[in-house]
């Protein structure tokens, strides 16, 4: 059973920063491609960023490119999302996801991931 627990969300002013963390309770963390998704108020879930097993490859939604950075620490079974220059439109519930069969071609799709956290709220005020 894989459990993912996000933390680090909160309320921040526009232009500020937050760092989200996601700890995975899993035997072999390196088996999993990791992703971050978000659900803005009243909208559908959207892809934010993804990272492969050894952190050699990352990929971002264009809306966050240059502002957000995804990383992972395999010794700590943790994936991070550093969010800088936050905007009100970044307000959303952010979810961590893990998938054992995710590839570069399908990493932006939520259906590619097998396990999800419960989410952490990020609110950016203007």
Element (H, E) at 21: strand 18-25
Q: What is the pLDDT of residues 31-61, one digit of tens each?
A: 999 999 999 999 999 999 999 999 999 999 9
pLDDT of residue 43: 97
Mean pLDDT of 80-103: 98
pLDDT of residue 24: 98
Q: Give the length of the chain.
A: 126
pLDDT of residue 49: 98
* 110 φ, ψ (degrees, to nearest 5): -60, -30
Q: Do residues 11 and 18 lie in contact, with contact meaning Cβ atoms separated by under 8 Å? A: no
Q: What is the pLDDT of residues 9-38, one digit of tens each?
A: 999 999 999 999 999 999 999 999 999 999
Q: Rounded CA gap, 29 and 111, in Å?
A: 19
91 CA to centre of own chain: 14
Q: How confident is the model at residue 1 (pLDDT cuts 50, 70, 90)?
A: confident
pLDDT of residue 97: 98
pLDDT of residue 25: 97
Q: Rounded CA gap, 56 and 54, in Å?
A: 5
Q: What percent of the chain has pLDDT over 90?
A: 98
- Long-range contacts, 48-52 (Cβ 8 Å, 24+): 48/81, 48/94, 49/81, 50/102, 50/107, 50/108, 51/79, 52/104
- Long-range contacts, 49-54 (Cβ 8 Å, 24+): 49/81, 50/102, 50/107, 50/108, 51/79, 52/104, 54/30
């Amino acid at each position: 059973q894989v459990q993912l627990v996000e933390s680090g969300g909160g309320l921040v002013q526009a232009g500020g920063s937050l760092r989200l963390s996601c700890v995975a309770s899993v035997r072999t963390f390196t088996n999993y491609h990791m992703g971050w998704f978000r659900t803005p108020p009243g909208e559908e879930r959207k892809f934010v960023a993804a990272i492969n097993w050894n952190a050699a490859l990352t990929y971002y939604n264009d809306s966050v490119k240059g502002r957000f950075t995804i990383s992972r620490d395999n010794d700590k079974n943790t994936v991070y999302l550093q969010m800088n220059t936050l905007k009100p439109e970044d307000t959303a519930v952010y979810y961590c996801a893990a998938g054992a069969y995710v590839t570069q071609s399908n990493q932006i799709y939520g259906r590619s991931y097998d396990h999800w956290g419960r989410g952490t709220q990020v609110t950016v005020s203007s």
